């Protein structure tokens, strides 16, 4: 009797190009990797964690989407002006969808003008271009500019906050809830460093055309020059964002991102006791992450992980692999220890369409399964003629 389905398993060790990291603990609909374990990359290393003076923190490798290290990843925290990252996401989406334009004049309401906290110093009953408001909102962290943009996008700040919460749910930020757009203190206004890291990741990936605002060091409006509060922009030239936050109850907070030799790392640090402390500790975490871990391409786009036998097809084999590259983060020196285990359904019977998932490849380190990716057919395989199909059917029956 013809055996219709079985599981074929093959393994190989990655050498010079190989590397492995921990599956993305932040995994949502945005990440292509499947999470197998929630351990961090640092747990595979003998290097001690950095000693950071903060309530909670996290380091994320953007290339691989993996958490390098973290402390109190799911602890409820007050985001303060880090809230503006979600406001920015909703605003950028409105611009992308054509519901808001850069040269559009936005009327300044009394509500926006009166918003407390950091300010751009826009005047009530005037109009300000969206491009100016964006700089006041991002570079100067102006709460007045935030509310003005919120009203321009949704008609009212309360409606805009509803959009923020909807977007949080769409992104899988399950421990995040907003009550206002600038990040003013409120008992129900909350998030976690895990959610903040995922939000930062999505903002960078989805709106790279707007990231230049976050590295802008100063902006002048109404003859008032204000500097970006992210002091790392002056200290480290590889830092190009991302956002500061502070209230008396939240402490000093900073989400930082740096790009070094094509590798991007994001750090989230909340609850420091001073501006200097959040700056010093964020830089310490960035440097520690870059120095002790590396990220390399393990599985390349459209290059086979394995060549699989095909039955009843015009080709005898077909490559199985990835439709997009897979980057992984690993403690330095661990690359040669990585193994891949490919498992796929057998027999593979033509016709086969490119892109069809037929199995998985699991990435292993010291017999620990750390990450799993789909195995897909890389090229079409057409069905063979009648006689060739009959011969293959007989061969299968005799196996």
Q: Which residues are annotated as a binding site for substrate?
A: 243
CA end-to-end distance (rounded Å), the chain: 10
**Of the listed 55, 84, 194, 334, which one is catalytic?**
84
Q: Is the dihedral of CA 252, 84, 130, 106 positive or negative?
A: negative
Output the known binding site. Answer: 243
For 270, the enclosing helix (H) or strand (E) is: strand 263-272
Q: Please, where are the H alpha helices in 97-223? A: 110-114, 130-138, 143-154, 157-170, 193-206
**Of the listed 141, 181, 282, 340, which one is catalytic?**
141
Yes or no: say if 57 and 71 are a contact pair by the CB < 8 Å rule. Answer: yes
Residue 351: asked if its preceding bond is cis (omega within 30°), the reply is yes
**Cα 206 to the center of its chain, rounded Å:** 9
**Of the listed 81, 181, 282, 340, which one is catalytic?**
81
303 is catalytic: no
Q: Is the dihedral of CA 372, 374, 379, 385 positive or negative?
A: positive
Distance between CA 379 and CA 220 in Å, rounded? 55
Yes or no: say if 280 and 295 are a contact pair by the CB < 8 Å rule. Answer: no
Yes or no: say if 172 and 196 are a contact pair by the CB < 8 Å rule. Answer: no
Distance between CA 270 and CA 55 in Å, rounded? 6
- Rg of the chain over all Cα atoms, to the nearest angstrom: 25
Helix, strand, coil proportions of the chain in percent (round to 5)? 30, 35, 35
Residues 6+ apart with CB under 8 A from 37: 22, 23, 368, 369, 370
81 is catalytic: yes
127 is catalytic: no
Yes or no: say if 47 and 69 are a contact pair by the CB < 8 Å rule. Answer: no
Residue 83: C-alpha distances to residues 49, 175, 366 (Å): 27, 13, 40
Yes or no: say if 102 and 130 are a contact pair by the CB < 8 Å rule. Answer: yes
Which residues participate in catalysis according to the annotation? Answer: 81, 84, 141
């Amino acid at each position: 009797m013809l055996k219709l389905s079985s599981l074929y398993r093959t393994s190989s060790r990655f050498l010079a190009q190989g590397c492995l990291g921990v599956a993305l603990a932040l995994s949502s609909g945005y990440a292509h990797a499947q999470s197998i374990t929630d351990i961090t990359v640092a747990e595979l290393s003998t290097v001690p964690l950095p000693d950071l003076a903060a309530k909670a923190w996290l380091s994320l490798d953007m290339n691989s989407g993996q958490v390098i290290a973290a402390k109190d990843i799911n602890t409820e925290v007050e985001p303060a002006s880090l809230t503006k990252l979600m406001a920015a996401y909703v605003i950028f989406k409105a611009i992308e969808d054509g519901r808001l334009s850069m040269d559009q004049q936005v009327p300044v309401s009394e509500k926006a003008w009166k918003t407390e906290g950091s300010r751009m110093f826009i005047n009530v009953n005037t109009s300000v271009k969206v491009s100016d408001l964006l700089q006041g909102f991002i570079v100067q962290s102006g709460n007045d500019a935030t509310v003005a943009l919120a009203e321009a996008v949704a008609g009212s700040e309360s409606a805009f906050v509803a959009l923020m919460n909807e977007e949080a749910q769409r992104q899988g930020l399950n421990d995040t809830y907003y009550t206002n757009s600038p990040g003013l203190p409120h008992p129900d206004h909350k998030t976690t460093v895990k959610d903040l890291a995922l939000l930062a990741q999505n903002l960078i990936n989805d709106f790279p055309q707007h990231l230049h605002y976050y590295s802008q060091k100063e902006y002048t409006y109404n003859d008032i020059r204000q500097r970006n509060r992210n002091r790392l922009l002056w200290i480290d030239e590889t830092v190009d964002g991302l956002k500061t936050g502070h209230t008396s109850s939240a402490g000093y907070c900073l989400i930082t991102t740096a790009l070094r030799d094509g590798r991007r790392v994001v750090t989230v640090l909340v609850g420091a006791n001073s501006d200097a402390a959040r700056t010093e500790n964020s830089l310490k975490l960035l440097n520690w992450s870059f120095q002790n871990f590396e990220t390399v391409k393990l599985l390349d786009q459209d290059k086979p992980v394995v060549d699989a036998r095909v039955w009843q097809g015009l080709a005898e084999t077909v490559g199985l692999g990835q439709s997009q590259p897979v980057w992984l983060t690993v403690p330095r020196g661990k690359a040669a220890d990585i193994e891949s285990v490919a498992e796929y359904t057998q027999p593979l019977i033509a016709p086969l369409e490119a892109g069809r998932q037929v199995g998985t490849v699991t990435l292993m380190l010291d017999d620990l399964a750390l990450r799993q990716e789909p195995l897909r057919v890389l090229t079409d395989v057409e069905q063979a003629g009648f006689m060739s199909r009959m011969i293959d059917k007989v061969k299968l029956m005799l196996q």
